[in-house]
Chain A
Amino acid sequence: KAGVTQTPRYLIKTRGQQVTLSCSPISGHRSVSWYQQTPGQGLQFLFEYFSETQRNKGNFPGRFSGRQFSNSRSEMNVSTLELGDSALYLCASSFVGEGNSPLHFGNGTRLTVT
């Protein structure tokens, strides 16, 4: 089975621009979550989607948004980029239905805002 695929791996943007990140989950996984990882802050939860519905959202400004498609692929969008948005963005999928089913992560997208 193919793992979680995130594209692109690296992005360089300037302040004020917007960016879209993509995530393809493991086949059969309908839950997709997004996390922001910065040094010293660990992983901060952005949002989680299941069957095209956002079930939970973290404490991030409205500039951060996402969506999920019928094939469970997900995209995350950040508008009006700020320098502080520079981070590693991780996508994770999981199989809902097994109690101890863990998150399966992709390799992440490294976003640099200049």
Chain B
Amino acid sequence: AQTVTQSQPEMSVQEAETVTLSCTYDTSESDYYLFWYKQPPSRQMILVIRQEAYKQQNATENRFSVNFQKAAKSFSLKISDSQLGDAAMYFCAYREGTYKYIFGTGTRLKVLA
């Protein structure tokens, strides 16, 4: 069965610094998608970044980028120039097919002023 593991329950980063959140997954499939979602205190899950497994190039979205290592089944999220508004729970998610998502248990990110 597919699993998604986020081994860091909580992380802290100084404002303007860079932080990396880890995510590993287990699958025997070759075609799948990976996502990072952010959940601020408002509770709404917001898509941060997505990665197609068939693409070797790492996805980037402004200050957010991923390090996708397909062979190692690793999908880490790097946040550069951290801002106070980045403080939230971050969830890594795996999807195969069109609708089967598996989420990790999340990493709580604290941003220190």
Contacts and interface: CB of A to CB of B under 8 A. Distances in A.
B42 A94 contact: no
Contacts of A104: 47
A48 B52 contact: no
B91 A42 contact: yes
B100 A56 contact: yes
Given A42-B91, A42-B104, A100-B52, A33 B99 contact: yes
A43 B44 contact: no
Most buried by A among B35, B98, B103: B98
B50 interface: yes
Interface stretch (A12-20, A61-69, A105-113): A105-113
Contacts of A55: 99
B42 A107 contact: yes
Given A40-B105, A41-B105, A99-B33, A48 B43 contact: no
Interface residues of B, number: 22
Nearest to A90: B45
A92 interface: yes
**B93, B99, B100, B106 — most chain A CB neighbours (10 Å):** B99
Among A43, A94, A105, A107, the most chain B Cβ lie within 10 Å of the Cβ of A43
B43 A108 contact: yes
A42 B106 contact: yes
A31 B98 contact: yes
Interface string B51-92: 010000000000000000000000000000000000000010
11 contacts: A33-B101, A41-B105, A42-B105, A45-B102, A48-B100, A55-B99, A56-B99, A102-B50, A103-B47, A107-B43, A110-B43
Interface of A: 31, 33, 35, 40-43, 45, 48, 50, 55-56, 88, 90, 92, 94, 96, 99-100, 102-108, 110
| Interchain residue pairs A-B with the least CB separation, the first 7 | A105-B45, A42-B105, A43-B103, A102-B47, A48-B99, A108-B43, A107-B44
